[in-house]
Amino acid sequence: MKSPAPPHEAIARVVALALAEDIGAGDLTSQSVVPEHARFRAALTAREPLTLAGLPVVHEVYRQLGDPEAFDDVSREGAELQPGEVAGIVDTNARLALTGERTALNFLQRLSGIATLTRTFVDEVAGTGACILDTRKTVPGLRALDKYAVAMGGGVNHRFGLFDAVLIKDNHIAAAGGVTAALRAAHEASRNDVRVQIEVDSLDQLDEALAAGAQFILLDNMTPVQVQTAVNRAAGRARLEVSGLVNLRNVRAYAETGVDDISVGSLTHSTRAVDIGLDATEPR
């Protein structure tokens, strides 16, 4: 499932912070070395296989620097690029192009890294019916962009924050007095359109959650064998999600249990930035 680009204000806010952090009082190198009116044309080029995400952010970088026409897309968001293939072209004043280079690349490399890792997980579970979900384990301030990148890689966005769904975790259960008490309280307090999900870390808790009418259950830190047992016990009475212990070596085993969703925190909390370069094409 693909999501639309993040709201413009979300992109504009983080880009403004990033540019202020990088430029400060001015780009000393470009201002001292590059002629004031020189032009610069360069291609944002993949240097390894990747799934592309972040082009709207590159546009915003150069818009904020003063040239909204500086960047042209060549590839589409979500595209699979091979080394040497071009994501887009920067064609603008040379000082402006070089001042924005690192900020544009930082965003594009990170977001494409998230999309690439997500696509790898999605491909690994292909044909099983399981969905790959993200989590709230994102870089503070970048959640809208991180989750957008997951969607560009073919993943599905879990709740955005604490405000759009109820997810009862182990500490909530402890504070509420148990699985049944926590579920009852959540359902009584929530609107009908708010999803209520509960985390369980044992088959006994699963049985209690099912008996209490849970429709969305997260199976935390269970092995594939335990998840298979949970799927059999639930027998379609609840949508089941796996979280914890999941990696590329075992995600297929989890998916083949028949579980509905697999959430993967590493998509956003420890992804590797992919290698993309800004390569001059026609010096002017």
Active site members: 102, 137, 169, 199, 220
How far apart are the C-alpha atoms of 63 and 24, rounded to whole Å? 18
Distances (CA, A) of 252 to 4, 50, 183: 28, 21, 31
Q: Where is 108: in which H helix or E strand?
A: helix 94-124
- What angle do the packed helices 94-124 and 55-64 form, to 10 degrees? 160
The 3-state DSSP class for residue 215 equals: coil
b/e map 71-83, b = 16+ CB within 10 Å: bebbbebbbebee
How far apart are the C-alpha atoms of 108 and 268, rounded to whole Å? 14
CA 261 to chain centre: 16
CA 110 to chain centre: 10
Strands of 76-207, DSSP E: 80-81, 86-93, 131-133, 166-168, 196-200
Only one residue has tokens 């540019």, namely 19
CB-CB neighbours of 217 under 10 Å? 23
